[in-house]
Amino acid sequence: MMTGKEYIESLRKLKTVVYLFGERVENFVDHPIIRPSINSVALTYDMAQEPEYRELMTAVSNITGERINRFCHIHQSTDDLVSKIKMQRLLGQKTGSCFQRCVGMDAFNAIYSTTYEIDEKYHTQYHERFRKYMEYVQKNDLTVDGAMTDPKGNRKLSPSEQKDPDLYVHIVEKREDGIIVTGAKAHQTGAVNSHEQLIMPTTAMKEKDKAYAVSFAVPSDAEGVLMIYGRQSCDTRKLEETTMDCGNCMYGGQEALVVFDRVFVPWERVFMCEEYDFSGMLVERFAGYHRQSYGGCKVGVGDVLIGAAATAAEYNGVEGASHIKDKLIEMVHLNETLYCCGIACSAQGRETKAGNYQIDTLLANVCKQNVTRFPYEISRLAEDIAGGLMVTMPSEKDFHSPEIGHICRKYFQGDERVDTMDRMRILRLIENMTLGTAAVGYRTESMHGAGSPQAQRIIIGRQGKIAEKKELAKKLAGINGQSD
């Protein structure tokens, strides 16, 4: 397994094409806006090296028999599913942000079981191909971006009905040695920081859409792959010669548009090719895993935000106020409810035909539905406790100014036992987590990451067993189904 330093050095060997603010970034590893997100991923490597986190951060591979980073693991039990959630909460606590490897882990497990069932029906060799690919990933301890979401264009139209066919990734040519694909994947978490891009279809499809039913893997620096880094609120603060105004200068998340312009994929890296009847299965399984993930990572980040709010209350001198205590209790209640959902859908998991473990899909969607709401309320309460100074305070340079620094320190003092600058630092952290760059990995992502709220409600409605519940009620009410 790699260390964080070795991971960072491995990125330097890639020739990934990255654009930011309209310009090509030649050295994305050391770019001040991008580097915090790289640091988050590096921590997933370093913590796997620490003895106290060994059981959470690592697992024994069912493919190689060797101990590997859990982010490269194919879940072998409900204990694995639970450990995944605990690991994600821990990393959320350590980074206060998104650590970006979850989408790859969730894609691994969804494709692993889906390829097995495609082979079962069509006698293809996708599953064995994917096992060999996973062996390569595990032995090299790679970070892989699991990419599902297409730009989608006009949502009323299916992929094949779009005026521009490239709004969904699709096969444009099949050759003896592989396929050629074109299109793009949007909102891709950690794409720039990944060694590989693992592509999946984004929706259930019909026969007319079969060219869009494709799953494959390519290196991030493959010819024809281009990435455009996503803009985040307050991101240019990282370009300033200050640390306080960033809130969280060490860690961060990232999103990117990943474009495929006639990219060649050899057959050994193709895991679905026009099997449109399995696209829905792959989408639903990946979505289930990723909605489970939010019961871990968002809870860990929530722990940090709760701690920041409690600290702000103390620095403001109001930690003993009853309404402050009540708000903190409510934040903890909401956060732990999310964790309960993540643990529950994991503990109720089941074995797939391929042998890996799938979460309880209904409970995973309930988990994510709660995530679309609770972090917003936790953020609101944090902002309430912090006070308006969180978004009106002067810059760090003002506090260090020879002319006005003493004025800032005098008038923004809270509890006299606390240094004014420490009070400002905790408020900037809250601002960062609720409004700034970290909001990408917490508040805003909680709404649309792993699918919109309506996507979860569709699954909940489909799997809610309303008909069975009606029968339970009728039996107790003495209704036998026959009219008098």
Q: What is the pLDDT of residue 432?
A: 95
The answer to whether residue 297 is catalytic is: yes
Per-residue pLDDT of 283-340, as tens digits, reads 999 999 999 999 999 999 999 999 999 999 999 999 999 999 999 999 999 999 999 9
Q: Decide if 457 is inside a domain.
A: yes
**HEC-encoded secondary structure of 248-305:** CCCCCCCCEEEEEEEEEEEHHHEEEECCHHHHHHHHHHHHHHHHHHHHHHHHHHHHHH
Find the mean pLDDT for residues 461-476: 96
Residue in 297, 341, 345, 367 annotated catalytic: 297
Annotated catalytic residue within 255, 275, 284, 314: 255
Q: Per residue in 398-411, pLDDT tens? A: 999 999 999 999 99
**Chain-centre distance of CA 15, in angstroms?**
24
Q: Is the pLDDT of residue 276 over 80?
A: yes
Q: Is residue 268 part of a domain?
A: no
Q: Please give the pLDDT value at position 265.
A: 98
Q: Is the CB of residue 41 less than 8 Å from the CB of residue 104?
A: no
pLDDT bucket at 465, cuts 50 / 70 / 90: very high
Told to judge if 367 belongs to the known catalytic residues of this protein, a careful annotator would answer: no
Rounded to whole angstroms, how far apart are CA atoms 145 and 31?
20
Q: Tens digits of per-residue pLDDT, 376-388?
A: 999 999 999 999 9
**What's the CA dihedral at 249, 253, 259, 260 to 10 degrees?**
120
- Residues near 473 by beta carbon (within 8 Å), at least 6 away in sequence: none
Is 161 an annotated catalytic residue?
A: no
Find where tokens 């696209």 sit. 279
């891009």: which residue's tokens? 197
Which residues 6+ apart lie within 8 Å of 449 measured at CB? 189, 290, 294
With beta carbons less than 8 A apart as the criterion, state whether 335 and 374 touch: yes
The string of pLDDT tens digits covering residues 13-57 is 999 999 999 999 999 999 999 999 999 999 999 999 999 999 999
345 included as an active-site residue: no
Type of residue numbered 344: A
Q: Does the pLDDT value for residue 481 go beyond 90?
A: no
In total, how many domains does the chain have?
Answer: 1
pLDDT reported for residue 483: 53
What is the rounded average pLDDT for all residues in the chain?
Answer: 97
Helix axes 279-316, 78-95, angle to 10 degrees: 40
C-alpha angle 167-171-173 in degrees, rounded to nearest 5? 130
Whether 229 is a known active-site residue: answer no
Q: What are phi and psi of 144, to 5 degrees?
A: -125, 130
**255 has catalytic annotation:** yes
- Give the list of residues 6+ apart from residue 75 with CB closer than 8 angstroms, or none: 81, 84, 109, 349, 356, 357
- Which residues are 258's β-sheet partners? 185, 227
DSSP summary character for residue 403: T
Q: Is residue 425 part of a domain?
A: yes
Residue 372 tokens read as 């679309």
d(CA 277, CA 264): 24
Residue at 448 is within a domain: yes
Identify the CA nearest to 76 among candidates 112, 115, 33: 112
List the catalytic residue out of 72, 98, 249, 367: 98
H-assigned helices in 319-360: 322-347
Which of 126, 212, 294, 442 is the catalytic position? 294
- Among candidate residues 290, 352, 372, 408, the one labeled active-site is 290
Return the bridge partners of 178, or none.
266
Q: Residue 482: its pLDDT value, please?
A: 60
Q: How far is CA 375 from CA 151, 263, 436, in A?
A: 26, 39, 15
Residue 440's pLDDT is what?
79
- What is the model's pLDDT at position 3? 98
| Helix (DSSP H) and strand (DSSP E) numbers for the chain | 17, 14
| 236-245 pLDDT per residue, tens | 999 998 899 9
Expressed as residue numbers, the domain containing 417 is: 282-469
Task: Decide: 38 and 11 in contact? Cβ < 8 Å.
Answer: yes
Q: At what angle do helices 322-347 and 78-95 cross, to 10 degrees?
A: 150
Domain with 450 in it: what CATH number? Answer: 1.20.140.10
| Active-site residue, from 73, 95, 102, 276 | 102
* pLDDT over 70, % of the chain: 99
Q: What proportion of the chain, given as a percentage, has pLDDT over 90?
A: 96
Dihedral angle of Cα 466, 349, 113, 148, to the nearest 10 degrees: 70
Condensed to tens digits (0 to 9), the pLDDT of residues 59-102 reads: 999 999 999 999 999 999 999 999 999 999 999 999 999 999 99
Is the distance from CB of 82 to CB of 49 less than 8 angstroms?
no
Q: Which of 95, 114, 182, 189 is catalytic?
A: 189
Catalytic site includes residue 294 = yes
470: tokens are 């009606």
Give CA separation, 75 vs 111, 198, 263, 355, in Å.
Answer: 12, 18, 31, 9
In a domain, 445, yes or no: yes
Note whether residue 110 is domain-resident: no
| Annotation marks residue 290 as catalytic | yes
Residues 6+ apart with CB under 8 A from 331: 302, 305, 306, 309, 378, 381, 382
Whether residue 222 is predicted with pLDDT greater than 80 in this model: the reply is yes
**Whether the Cβ atoms of residue 304 and residue 433 lie closer than 8 Å to each other:** yes
